[in-house]
Chains A and B, each alone.
Chain A
Amino acid sequence: MNQNSYLILSAAMFSIGAIGVLVRRNPLVMFMCVELMLNAVNLSFVSFSRSLGNVDGQVIVVFVMVVAAAEVVVGLAIVLSIMRRRPGANADDLTMLRG
């Protein structure tokens, strides 16, 4: 296994995640896609870290995971409170904040 394989996998995960965020309308699925993108980046960090022999990349991964966890907490809370006010889960319908 050389580094290229990791990077190709990472790029594929990132693209799937990005397309998922753009095309799906369910907020929960969009969250999962965001997680996918974050983990794709994590993967490339770890692979670079290993090939360059520098632990900095692995340190960053820990940070990213912490931030992702926090983001999910806030995001899920928002989704939950929206669900309480109105039924259904469609991101396109949530346009109350338009200018």
Chain B
Amino acid sequence: MEHLIWLIPALPLVGFGIQLVGGRRLGDPRAGWVATGMVAASFLASVAVFFDLLSRSEEERSITQTLFQWIPVGNLRIGMGFLADPLSITMCLFVTGIGSLIHLYSIGYMKGDPRYSKFFLYLNLFIFSMLMLVLGENLLVTFLGWEGVGACSYFLIAFWHTDTANASAGKKAFITNRVGDWGFMLATFLTWTVVGSLNYSDINAAAVGGSITGVTATAIVVLFLVAATGKSAQLPLFVWLPDAMAGPTPVSALIHAATMVTSGVYLLVRLNPLLFEAGWANDAIAWVGAITALVAATIAISQNDIKKVLAYSTVSQLGFLFLAVGTGNYVAAIFHMVTHAFFKALLFLGSGSVIHGMAHDQDMRHYGNLRRYMPITAGTFIVGWLAIAGVPPFSGFWSKDEILAGAWSFGPSGKVLWFIGLVTALMTAFYMTRQVVMTFFGTERWREVELDPAHAATDPANAAHADEHDHHGLTPDHEPHESPWTMTVPLVVLAGLATVGGVLNLPFADGLHFLEHWLDPVIVHPHELPAVPTLVVLAGLATLGALLGIVLAGAVYVRRQVDPSLIEREVFAKGWYIDWAYSWFTGGPGRDAFDATARFDQTVVDGAVNGTAALVQRAGVRSRRLQSGQVRGYALGIAVGAVLMVGYFMTRMGF
């Protein structure tokens, strides 16, 4: 059965080829169905490989399949190889599974778009790249996928590129990711220098065998952390993700919530034996995660765009994943990655359904009481809300609790990390409640929008939103409608998964730790959770935090006991001025530095190159005079030369 591995990425690639050749001829909606079918087939292939792995003994659950030698140069032998082990197959299952649901959803969502088949072309290419990233047997194949998903992300964010804002959001994502790719490349070079191979098996064996010194391991992991902060949108490189919401909503759900942004975490978990040797790099990962989680949660509280809230929430949840990786709690990281993929994809698709029903207006201040008009969307969205808020028994509770418990038992700084995580969890519950209340409950505010010009006039940002609102044509007499079945079926399936996802790794008995046992061959140094009594207390505190967040949000937004402007601070709404600081830096001192570099390039580097060329040219001008064209002159030269040579031989060599 192992020959099926190559099929997993090959099927979306075939889908991409079909869309490339005949996508426009297939048209709307057949192109979408073909693309969906390909990803679904890839999911079936993943399931087949999964069962094959399951039928093997624990030590044999790692299959390497090398299709061909990709780059054979000197000592460097890079194969186009795939590695199927519990970790990569787990990723494959949820990438292709959620991917097919989102493809199905897109058939309805993108209906009537003039570039319908182009959208599915990019989606298929994305799934292919993501699977290459996950299945790659060495760092270079992973890097191929890494760049591929980055490029697809760029194409899809800027999908409606006629709008300048969308196009520049795409560019921002691409350029920010390049900073992270720099780290990936340097880490790869360093790994090659130290280990002499780029295969994961060799790298991890070298780490376990102790042939990589602690300092080198730390350097490699820090560079990979730079790569991961770019791709997984962590501080300081998270700025691209909120802007990436300019893309179509299925893209936000697939790429910018469920799959691509988790690849940084995947990479770190893949190299977990190396991380074990990396010393303080682990603390760096944990702190980056914790601080990102907190900062992003504060920003999410003050956003009014329904997708921006979810975007910052994604950044915050990814911070949790980094916290788990940094504290050595890899199983919890993968666990939360999977449950987060379920409920965040659900929330994004739900928001897409709302946007679809509300004439493409994304401002939550224009929503309200939508549960009357779109019951399925509202019901599934509420499931997603409870899951992300961490209310038991929904999936988010189990995975988030495991991360927090893991942080608690992590060294001296563990308690602080745990506390930051707890506060973030409380704020998560708060902003998600705010979103649900503003969208699905309360009064039908779009009916009064145009009667309330003061609302728009107070703040230039609001004025911009009002323009957008006119542009999209949300009028006071608009009747919201439920979405077609292709959009609601994925919602229902994901809602089911988000509810029961926790059974993957229930903490009650050892026999219920399915995910932990499944990942056991990959995780070299398992993490010890605190003893059971502590665990129960921590879980209780986490639940209390979540409920407190919901109650507080209820007090502010339902009963109106507190003025929301006390909480929705300017500094939060502006994202802590991080974007502003970046543009100030690149426009001011950064610009000068770039100009200085350009001048250095023009004068010194170009000067050296052009100077050499000029020198050669002058020498040529001088020496061309030797070529007089006089045949007898040449003959004389030959004769004199011959005489001189004969004279030399006769005097020196003693004839």
Number of interface residues of B (CB under 8 A): 12
Asked if B624 and A99 make an inter-chain contact with CB atoms under 8 angstroms apart, the answer reads yes
Asked if A99 and B625 make an inter-chain contact with CB atoms under 8 angstroms apart, the answer reads yes
* B-chain residues with CB within 8 Å of residue A94 when the two chains form the complex: 629, 631
* A-chain residues with CB within 8 Å of residue B625 when the two chains form the complex: 99
Asked if B629 and A98 make an inter-chain contact with CB atoms under 8 angstroms apart, the answer reads yes
* A-chain residues with CB within 8 Å of residue B639 when the two chains form the complex: 18, 21-22
Q: How far does the alpha carbon of A21 sit from the alpha carbon of B625 in the complex, in Å?
A: 23
Asked if A92 and B630 make an inter-chain contact with CB atoms under 8 angstroms apart, the answer reads yes
Residue A25, interface by CB 8 Å = yes
Residue A70, interface by CB 8 Å = no
Q: Chain A: which residue is nearest B642 at the CB level?
A: A18
* CB interface residues, B 377-424, toward A, < 8 Å: none
Task: Among B624, B630, B636, find the residue whose CB has the most chain A CB atoms closer than 10 A.
Answer: B630
A92 in complex: contacting residue of B624, B627, B632, B636, CB < 8 Å? B632
* A-chain residues with CB within 8 Å of residue B628 when the two chains form the complex: 95, 98-99
Main secondary structure of the interface of B (DSSP, over half): helix
Number of interface residues of A (CB under 8 A): 13
* CB interface residues, A 22-60, toward B, < 8 Å: 22, 25, 30
Task: Among B624, B632, B636, B639, find the residue whose CB has the most chain A CB atoms closer than 10 A.
Answer: B632
* A-chain residues with CB within 8 Å of residue B653 when the two chains form the complex: none
Q: How far does the alpha carbon of A66 sit from the alpha carbon of B494 in the complex, in Å?
A: 91
Asked if B632 and A25 make an inter-chain contact with CB atoms under 8 angstroms apart, the answer reads yes
Asked if B626 and A99 make an inter-chain contact with CB atoms under 8 angstroms apart, the answer reads yes
A95 in complex: contacting residue of B624, B630, B636, CB < 8 Å? B630
* B-chain residues with CB within 8 Å of residue A97 when the two chains form the complex: 627, 629
Q: Chain A: which residue is nearest B625 at the CB level?
A: A99
> Digit string of A53-97 for contact with B (CB within 8 Å is 1, else 0)?
000000000000000000000000000000000000001101111
* CB interface residues, B 626-652, toward A, < 8 Å: 626-632, 635-636, 639
* A-chain residues with CB within 8 Å of residue B629 when the two chains form the complex: 94-99
Asked if A22 and B627 make an inter-chain contact with CB atoms under 8 angstroms apart, the answer reads no
* A-chain residues with CB within 8 Å of residue B630 when the two chains form the complex: 91-92, 95, 98
* B-chain residues with CB within 8 Å of residue A92 when the two chains form the complex: 630-632
Q: Chain A: which residue is nearest B627 at the CB level?
A: A99
* B-chain residues with CB within 8 Å of residue A25 when the two chains form the complex: 632
* A-chain residues with CB within 8 Å of residue B626 when the two chains form the complex: 99
Task: Among A91, A95, A99, find the residue whose CB has the most chain B CB atoms closer than 10 A.
Answer: A99
Q: How far does the alpha carbon of A18 sit from the alpha carbon of B630 in the complex, in Å?
A: 16
Q: How far does the alpha carbon of A50 sit from the alpha carbon of B627 in the complex, in Å?
A: 43
Q: Contacts A18-B639, A22-B639; is A91 near B632 (CB within 8 Å)?
A: yes
Q: How far does the alpha carbon of A24 sit from the alpha carbon of B636 in the complex, in Å?
A: 12
Q: Chain B: which residue is nearest A18 at the CB level?
A: B639
Asked if A21 and B635 make an inter-chain contact with CB atoms under 8 angstroms apart, the answer reads yes
Q: Chain B: which residue is nearest A25 at the CB level?
A: B632
* B-chain residues with CB within 8 Å of residue A21 when the two chains form the complex: 632, 635, 639
Q: How far does the alpha carbon of A96 sit from the alpha carbon of B574 in the complex, in Å?
A: 77
Q: How far does the alpha carbon of A96 sit from the alpha carbon of B629 in the complex, in Å?
A: 7
Q: How far does the alpha carbon of A96 sit from the alpha carbon of B628 in the complex, in Å?
A: 9
Task: Among A18, A94, A97, A98, find the residue whose CB has the most chain B CB atoms closer than 10 A.
Answer: A98
Q: How far does the alpha carbon of A18 sit from the alpha carbon of B636 in the complex, in Å?
A: 9
Q: How far does the alpha carbon of A25 sit from the alpha carbon of B632 in the complex, in Å?
A: 8
Asked if B636 and A22 make an inter-chain contact with CB atoms under 8 angstroms apart, the answer reads yes
Binding site for B on A (CB under 8 A): 18, 21-22, 25, 30, 91-92, 94-99
Could you show 9 A-B contacts with beta carbons less than 8 Å apart? A21-B632, A22-B639, A30-B631, A91-B630, A97-B629, A98-B627, A98-B630, A99-B626, A99-B629
A92-B630, A95-B629, A99-B628 known, 14 other contacts, Cβ within 8 Å: A18-B639, A21-B632, A21-B639, A22-B632, A22-B635, A22-B636, A22-B639, A25-B632, A92-B631, A98-B627, A98-B629, A99-B624, A99-B626, A99-B629
The 5 closest A-B pairs by CB, nearest first: A98-B629, A99-B627, A95-B629, A99-B624, A91-B631
